[in-house]
Copies of this chain bind each other. A is one copy, B any other.
Amino acid sequence: MRIVALAGGIGGARFLRGLKEAVAPGDEITVIGNTGDDIHLYGLKVCPDLDTVMYTLGGGINEDQGWGRTDETWSIKAEMKEYGVGPEWFGLGDRDFATHLVRSQMLSAGYSLSQVTEALCVRWRPGVRLIPMSDDRVETHVRITDEAGPRVVHFQEYWVRLHAAVDAEAIIPVGADTAKPAPGVLEAIAAADVILLPPSNPVVSIGTILAVPGIRQAVSDASAPVVGLSPIIGGAPVRGMADKVLAAVGVETSAEAVARHYGSELLDGWLVDDSDAAAVAGVEAAGIRCRAVPLLMSDVPATAGMARAALALAAEVRA
């Protein structure tokens, strides 16, 4: 079975770890990774979501924080402070820096981001095929108004520095309109037996992937069932601050609203948490088959159970 998953960072990576447990030997997982939260720091190309997937599936992730490397050291960060060079608010550890150095050097040498990602995965052996959504530069920006007045900041500045404490007025995936899907993305979607939308951020993770021209259409057109898992449980994001960016696109923070936001042209099935069982009828009324199951990724077995439920719903849709 060929499974395609569109993935953001922490939530996506953790779901994929469960998915790997849930699939049968011989099944192939292709992950189309969000690159909209990429940022250039210290002259280096940093791809937080791709790295989080790579580190999580490759056994190098810092489990407690969900991003960055295990056994990390922070010498460079301390030195940057001494040099007075920022941004201070973005945490790049020394081991993590090595990834960005290798990536940036390969990009400078003319390799594409998807070629670089493949090369990095030779080391990490994530057990999936990881493809960035695009080899073109896409960086999500957020329009806000704070004491500095109305302005646009990089998504990372909004998320990491400002902790999404001010309202997001608009989410702008800069470059997405002219970006092309990376080689293999549309082919994998077309050839898939199942397409999964993990419980990643529907706006700045999966939404950005779908904003690359051609990808949303390919998912809609795919013969495979498309099944998503709600990142919202009981009216709040399980992790992160998805409510802030949902509000920016006029979507209520609820499992049903997110399903309707994706829409029945895209989604064939939707999983909500048991505690949101009341939402099932509304989602189904929108033309999307819906089931309530436990959706907390508390550990790998629980997450594998969610993946199995998603695959089962896909099979049900297909039948």
Please, how many angstroms separate the alpha-carbon atoms of A97 and B83 in the complex?
A: 12
CB proximity of A280 to chain B, nearest CB, Å: 46
Which parts of A67-88 form the interface with B (CB within 8 Å)? 72-73, 75-76, 78-80, 82-85
Residue A42 lies at the interface, judged by CB distance under 8 Å to chain B: yes
- Selected contact of A97 from candidates B85, B97, B99, CB within 8 Å: B97
A105 and B42 contact, CB distance less than 8 A: yes
| Integer count of this chain's copies in the complex | 2
Please, how many angstroms separate the alpha-carbon atoms of A79 and B101 in the complex?
A: 10
- Selected contact of A123 from candidates B42, B44, B82, B104, CB within 8 Å: B82
Residue A43 lies at the interface, judged by CB distance under 8 Å to chain B: yes
Interface size class of A (residues with CB under 8 A): 20 to 34
**Cβ of A120: which chain B residues have Cβ within 8 Å of it?**
83
Please, how many angstroms separate the alpha-carbon atoms of A98 and B75 in the complex?
A: 8
**Cβ of A85: which chain B residues have Cβ within 8 Å of it?**
102, 105
Chain A 94-123 near chain B by CB (<8 Å), digits 1 or 0: 110111011011001000000000001011
Which parts of A147-164 form the interface with B (CB within 8 Å)? none
Least CB separation from A71: chain B residue: B75
CB proximity of A159 to chain B, nearest CB, Å: 23
**Cβ of A95: which chain B residues have Cβ within 8 Å of it?**
75-76, 78-79
Please, how many angstroms separate the alpha-carbon atoms of A99 and B80 in the complex?
A: 8
Which parts of A47-94 form the interface with B (CB within 8 Å)? 72-73, 75-76, 78-80, 82-85, 93-94
**Cβ of A76: which chain B residues have Cβ within 8 Å of it?**
94-95, 97-98, 101
**Cβ of A83: which chain B residues have Cβ within 8 Å of it?**
98-99, 102, 120, 123
Which parts of A251-275 form the interface with B (CB within 8 Å)? none
Please, how many angstroms separate the alpha-carbon atoms of A108 and B84 in the complex?
A: 18
Please, how many angstroms separate the alpha-carbon atoms of A132 and B78 in the complex?
A: 26
Interface residues of A (CB under 8 A from B): 42-44, 72-73, 75-76, 78-80, 82-85, 93-95, 97-99, 101-102, 104-105, 108, 120, 122-123
26 CB < 8 A contacts A-B: A42-B101, A42-B102, A43-B101, A43-B104, A43-B108, A44-B101, A72-B75, A73-B73, A73-B75, A75-B95, A75-B98, A76-B95, A76-B97, A76-B98, A76-B101, A78-B95, A79-B95, A79-B98, A79-B99, A80-B98, A80-B101, A83-B120, A83-B123, A84-B122, A94-B97, A97-B97
